[in-house]
């Protein structure tokens, strides 16, 4: 079972976190299942960018991004070459390290 290291984020995960999830689990599901309440305004349907993460290590272990995801990522705040929508990025067999960007394009937030 791969390990996900979440770098500290002032709101979602101030101390950072280390968690485990089965291969094939989306990063978003893994974060939510471990009480890291990352935004996901479109309910994980690849229709927004609020669950955007930057994969600092293990990027190549994730499934390949679809054209739909890449098109959506073009709208993400703070886009980097290793950016993924956490709702679409599925764990492979190796460990990953992710950073949740400080900001998203969401102007209003609801707690899920």
Instruction: Report which secondary-structure segment, H or E, holds 20.
Output: strand 17-20
- pTM higher than 0.75: yes
> Cα separation of 97 and 29, whole Å?
15
10 Å Cβ neighbour count for 35? 10
Domain borders along the chain are 3-99
- Specify burial of residue 79 (Cβ count, 10 A radius: 0-12, 13-18, 19+): middle
Q: Which CATH code fits 3-99?
A: 3.10.20.30
Between CA 39 and CA 44 the distance in angstroms is 10
Per-residue pLDDT of the chain (112 residues), as tens digits, is: 999 999 999 989 999 999 999 999 999 999 999 999 999 889 999 999 999 999 999 999 999 999 999 999 999 989 999 999 999 999 999 999 999 998 766 544 445 4
């Amino acid at each position: 079972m791969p390990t996900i290291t979440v770098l500290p984020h002032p709101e979602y995960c101030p101390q950072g976190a280390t968690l485990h999830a089965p291969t094939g689990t989306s990063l978003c599901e893994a974060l939510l299942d471990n009480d890291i309440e990352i935004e996901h305004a479109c309910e994980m349907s690849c229709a927004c960018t609020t669950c955007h993460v930057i994969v600092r290590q293990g990027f190549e272990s994730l499934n390949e991004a679809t054209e739909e995801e890449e098109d959506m990522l073009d709208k993400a705040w703070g886009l980097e070459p290793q950016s993924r929508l956490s709702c679409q990025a599925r764990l492979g067999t190796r460990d990953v390290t992710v950073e949740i960007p400080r900001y998203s394009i969401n102007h209003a937030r609801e707690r899920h």
